[in-house]
Structure 1
Amino acid sequence: MDDNEEDTCSSSSMMNKEKVNASTCHLEDLYIRGCPSLRCLPSIHQLSASLTSLSVLNCSKLTTLSSTGHLPVALKHLTVKSCSELKALLPKGQLPETLESLIIGYCQKVESIVEKFHNNRALCDITVFKCQKLKSLPEGLETLSSLRNINMTSCQDFSSFPKGGFPDSNLTVYLYGCEKLEALPSGIHTLSSLEIHNCPNMSLTEEGLPTKLAGLSTEGIKQYKALMEGGSHNLTSLTYLYISGGLDGESFQDEDLRITLPCTLTSLGIGKFPNLKYLPFKNFEDLPSLSCLRIFDFPELTSLPILPSSLLQLYIHRCPLLKEACKSDKGKEWYKIADIPCVEIDGKFIYEPEKL
C-alpha cells in the first residue's frame, strides 16, 4: 500500500471490514507507505491472523500502531520508519510473543516503544536509529533470552538502559551518537561484542569488561583510559579490537597508548590519533594469532613496531609519512612488511607495478 492509495488510508477506516477479511485473510507480509491521513492501523480483527511481517513507512500523522494495544499474534518482523508524529508504538498492551525483529527509525517524536517487554523470548534483534526523543528501552529487557543484537544509533536523548540490565544471551551491543548515555547497565558479563562510537559522555562499566568479550570497538579518551586501567590483557576471549581517538584524538600523546594487548587477538584496527609518532603497544610482536592489522589517520606516524609473523593482511590509510617509509625496496620500514602476503596502502596493493 503506497501513496497512490492514500485516499483509502484514513484514521477511521482503511476499507470495509468485510472486504479486508476477504482479501487479507491469508496475508503474511504487509507494507504500508506514504499514507498521510493514517493515524492508526486497523484493528487486529481487520488484519490477517497469519501476518508475520509488517512495515509502516512515511505515514506523517501516525501516532500509534494500535489504539487497542494489540498487533497480529503471529507477527515476527516489525519495521516502522519516518513516521514523524509517532510517540509510542503501543502506549498500552504488549508486543506479540512471536516477534523476532524490531526496527524503528527516523521517528523524531517517539518516546516509548511499549511499557514493558512481556514474554518476548523470541525477540533477537532491536534496532533503533534517529529517534531523538527516546530515553530508554522498555523494562524487562533482561527477560529477552533470545536477544542477539541491540543497535542504538543517533538517539540523542537516549540516556539509560533499564535497571534490569541485559539478558543472559550471546549479545552484541552497538552504540553510536547517543550523546546523553553515560554508562552501561550492571551485569554486562554476558556481552560477546561491544561497539561504542561518538558517545562523548560514555564510560565503560566500573565492574570491568566481561572476560568472554570477543569483539570490542571504542572511540574517545574516556573509553580508552577505561580500557587501559581495566587491563585489556585480561580479556582472554578477545579476537577483534578497534581503537579510535575520535574527536579526542588530538589530546592523546604517545605515553597514553601504552597497553598490553590480549594475546588472543586476530584482528586489530587503530586510528585517528593525529599527534602520535609511533604505536607503543607493549607486546605487539607477541601476538601469535594476529592476522589482520588496520592503521588509519596517523599523519605523524613514521614507523611500525616489529610485527608478528602471523600477520597476513596489513591496511594503511591516510598515514603519509608511514606511506613514504614503506616504499618498496627503498623505504626504511619496507623490511618489516615485505613478507606480508597482503599489504594495501591508501587502497593500493603494494606489489602492483607503478604506472608510468
Structure 2
Amino acid sequence: MILTSTFLHELELQRIPSLTAFPEDGLPHSLDGFPALQDLSIQDCKSLESIFISETSSSQSSMLRKLTLHSCNALISLPKQMDTLTTLEELLVSNCDTLRSLPGLDTLTSLKSLHLWGPQGLMLSFSEGPCLPPNLQSIYIESPRITVPPMTEGGFQRLKDLSRLTIAGDMVNALLKEPLLPISLVNLSISKLSTTKSLKGNGLRHLLSLENLTFSKCSELESCSKDVFPSTLKSFRFNDCSALESLSEDTLPSFLKRLSIWRCPLLEAWYENKEHWSNIAHIPVIDLNGNRHTSPVTVI
C-alpha cells in the first residue's frame, strides 16, 4: 500500500514492534511528474534492523529530502546504497544505540544538515579519509566514540559552507588545541566537556566569521586563558558551568555585544563584586541568570 502511494510526501512510523525492515522494494516513487516521498521518519521501532533502498531504480529514492531515525535500537547500520539519496538534505539519527557505521555518508552531496545524537556504538573517525558530506551547513554531533585526529583532510576543515556546529564530549579537546574547524563558522556550541578544566590553545582564534559562541554543561571548566577566542565574537553564553569561577578582563573580546551567564553560581558570585563587574560594564547587553543588576549598560 505504501509503495503504490505515488502522492505520498511524508511518512511517519512510530512504535511498530513487528517492523524489522523498510522496505525491500525501495521507497515510494513519483508518477506522471508528481513528487515521491520527501520526508521519512521512523521512531521507536525497536525491531527495525535495516532500511532498504532499491539499487535497480534510484529514481524511487531520488526525491527524499529528510530522513529521521529515532530509538531504533536494533538498527546496526544505514543502507549501503546511501549514494542513491541524491536529494537528501537532512539526516537525523538519535538514540539508535546499536548503530555502528554510516556507510557512504560522504557521498550525500545535497546534505545540508546532519544530526547525530546518542548512538553509543557509532564509530566515526576522520583519520580514515573523508567521512562527512562536503556541502554541510549545520552539524549536531554528540557521540562518545567519534574521534578527531590532528589535522586531517577528512575532517571539518574541508566543509567550506559549514556555518553552524554543535558538538559535545571530550572529542572537542582536539578541536580546541589546533585550528581544525572551518573559518566559515558563524555559530558554535560546545557542551559536556567533562575533563577540561581550562580552555587553552589556538583552536578558536582563527574563526574570524564566528559571532555566537556557547559553552554548556562543562562541569569541570574553571577558567579560560587569554587570547583563546576570536575578536569577532558578538554573543558569548555560558550555561550550567558550575565550576567556572571567573573571566579575566582580557579573556572576553573587546567588541562583545552580549554576555549571558546561566546557572554558573561561582561566576555569578564573582560579578557580584563591583570591582569585577567593571570588567564587563562595557558590554551593551548582560544577562546574569535572568537577574537585573545596576550597571551603566542595558541589563536584561
Please say if 1:88 is aligned against 2:50: yes
SS in 2 for 1:246: coil
Query: 1:1-356 counterparts in 2 under 5 A?
Result: 44=3, 47-68=4-25, 70-73=26-29, 74-90=36-52, 93=55, 96-139=61-104, 141-160=105-124, 163-176=129-142, 178-183=143-148, 186-189=154-157, 190=159, 191-197=162-168, 199-205=169-175, 208-219=180-191, 220=193, 228-244=200-216, 246-249=218-221, 252=222, 254=223, 256-280=224-248, 282-284=250-252, 286-287=254-255, 290-301=256-267, 302-303=270-271, 304=277, 306-307=279-280, 309=282, 311=284, 313-317=285-289, 327=293, 334=294, 337-340=295-298, 342-343=299-300
Query: What stretches of structure 1 of length at least 5 have no aligned partner?
Result: 1-19, 21-41, 328-333, 344-356
1:16-41 Cα distance to aligned partner (Å, 9 max, x none): xxxx5xxxxxxxxxxxxxxxxxxxxx
Letter of the 1:339 counterpart = V
Larger Rg: 1
Quote the Cα distance in structure 1 between the aligned partners of 2:184 and 2:136. 10
Quote the Cα distance in structure 1 between the aligned partners of 2:196 and 2:204. 12
Tell whether the 8 Å contact from 2:179 to 2:203 is kept in structure 1 after alignment. Answer: no
Query: What stretches of structure 2 of length at least 5 have no aligned partner?
Result: 30-35, 272-276
Q: Which residue of 1 aligns with 2:274?
A: none
Tell me how large the CA RMSD over aligned residues is. Answer: 2.9
Tell whether the 8 Å contact from 1:272 to 1:296 is kept in structure 2 after alignment. Answer: yes
**TM-score scaled to structure 2, two decimals?**
0.79
Tell whether the 8 Å contact from 2:229 to 2:253 is kept in structure 1 after alignment. Answer: no
Letter of the 1:122 counterpart = T
Quote the Cα distance in structure 1 between the aligned partners of 2:79 and 2:244. 47
Percent identity, aligned pairs only, is: 22
Size of the aligned set, in residue pairs, is 273
**TM-score scaled to structure 1, two decimals?**
0.67
**1 or 2, which has the higher helix percentage?**
1
CA shift at 1:247, angstroms? 3.4
